[in-house]
Amino acid sequence: MAKSKANNTLSITDNRTGKQYDLPIENDTIKAMDLRQIKVKKDDFGMMSYDPAYSNTASCTSRVTFIDGDKGELMYRGYPIDVLAKKSNFLEVSYLLLNGKLPNKKEFNTFEGNIMNHTMIHENIKKFIDGFRYDAHPMGMLMSTVAALSTFYPESKDIFDEETRKIQIHRLIAKMPTLAAFAYRHSMGMPYAYPDNDLSYAGNFLNMLYKMTELKYKPDPIMEKAIDVLLILHADHEQNCSASAMRNVGSSHPDPYSATAASIAALYGPLHGGANEGVLQMLAEIGHKDNIPKAIKAAKNGEFRLMGFGHRVYKSYDPRATIIKDIAHDVFQVTGKNPYLDIALELERIALEDEYFVKRKLYPNVDFYSGLIYQSMGIPTEMFTVLFAIGRTPGWLAQWKELLLDPERRIARPRQVYLGDKNLKYVPMSKRK
């Protein structure tokens, strides 16, 4: 039976005053601004909600990505992730995220052509990359060269012009693999390999990473497919830390290169995209299956975090981790088994039986197995988060586009609960103790 409109409210009694307030409920949510009317004295500021780290605060409405963390479900624009990973490709998924529907053949060809036409970077960007130290982290190089793109495309500031917005979106999706691969080649002391637009998006990325003296690079189809699926799995994850960075920074209306650089910075952290790098470091430190109980004990004592385990939203197995486990199997057929796989499987088995992890619903997340695949493909650990960033770019841009077109959009500006001093008397330095 449909609920009557009058029942669709939340009644709050303020026991300080005995007053009752009826707040409208929409989509199982109350508006935090509706709390502001709750006051003790007329000139009070009014009540706010306190939610550090936004654990229970929806900051926007969205139609891009759906996650049910308890059921372990992930959908892009309504399509389950396992279906997309099986049947689609990364550029098709990018189109879907950005436009809200799957492209027909003609739309896909145009989109793919647009992306592949923008894979080259200005030669001066290459000079920036040359300027980095030999041991510069590729995420640092990626973050700063993406920010630098804003200076090459000053028209990108015209963010409310649909056509301008579209071109920058194409450029960003197209140039991320080039910047990433150039950063890699720089750190290896190797000459840059230019894009080959005859290849697929994933195939071209492998070309720019690995091409040596051959005239034409031929990607291994299993590797190409694995990279493509991994990019799909990373393409969006609703309002995570880096997407929120995109929306927060984007809300002040900079060009999308600057906002994407902010997302890359957020992704870099070890609690977010940097975790895949952390997993490999952790597995190397554990070194042998016999050392796992000691590692589990240390994690339970709070001495370290089991990298690749736990998630703010998933309280069951991360559906992406299941798909990644299958890809790992395919890739290891070509590359040989990653020596750390046995440690990872045993770690997972023990953790999933351990009361500490079971009670806290800590399961492997997307990062737990992805690093093993990248490592087997010969991709250095420092590049793992860079691959994540390439995959996440269409998601960030879909979130950015949705933000700009949202009539409720305003500059992001959270409140605080101020607990510090007020109106202190200024003591001159000579008189301070």
- Contacting positions for ligand ACO (CB under 6 A): 271-273, 275, 299, 305-312, 360, 362, 365-367
Q: Helices 201-210 and 105-117 sit at what angle, rounded to 10 degrees?
A: 20
- Pick the closer one to ligand ACO by CB: 74 or 129: 74
Alpha helices in 189-272 (DSSP H): 201-210, 221-233, 241-250, 256-268
- Nearest distance, CB of residue 365 and ligand ACO, angstroms: 4
Instruction: From 189, 64, 174, select the one nearest 119 (Cα to Cα).
Output: 174
- Nearest distance, CB of residue 307 and ligand ACO, angstroms: 5
Instruction: From 280, 225, 227, 169, select the one nearest 391 (Cα to Cα).
Output: 227
Residue 67, φ and ψ in degrees, nearest 5? -130, 130
Question: Strand 9-14 and strand 19-24: pairing?
Answer: antiparallel
- Pick the closer one to ligand ACO by CB: 365 or 393: 365
- Pick the closer one to ligand ACO by CB: 23 or 345: 345
Segment holding 279, helix H or strand E: helix 275-286
DSSP letter at 35 equals G
In angstroms, the Cα distances linking 233 to 152, 186, 229, 394 are: 31, 27, 6, 12
Q: Which of 34, 220, 272, 354 is catalytic?
A: 272
- Pick the closer one to ligand ACO by CB: 101 or 361: 361
- Nearest distance, CB of residue 138 and ligand ACO, angstroms: 18
Burial zone of 87 (CB within 10 Å; 0-12 exposed, 13-18 middle, 19+ buried): exposed
| Beta carbons of 386 and 138 less than 8 angstroms apart | yes
DSSP letter at 354 equals S
| Beta carbons of 286 and 257 less than 8 angstroms apart | no
The residue whose Cβ lies closest to ligand ACO is 310
**Cα angle at 50 between 49 and 53, to 5 degrees?**
125
Q: Is 329 a catalytic residue?
A: no
Residue 177, φ and ψ in degrees, nearest 5? -65, -35
- Nearest distance, CB of residue 52 and ligand ACO, angstroms: 10
Q: How far is CA 186 from the centre of its chain?
A: 25
**Identity of residue 82:** D
Q: Is 137 a catalytic residue?
A: no
- Nearest distance, CB of residue 322 and ligand ACO, angstroms: 15
Q: Which of 228, 236, 255, 367 is catalytic?
A: 367
Q: Is 367 a catalytic residue?
A: yes
- Pick the closer one to ligand ACO by CB: 203 or 371: 371
Q: Which of 118, 186, 234, 311 is catalytic?
A: 311
- Pick the closer one to ligand ACO by CB: 193 or 379: 379
Residues with catalytic function = 272, 311, 367
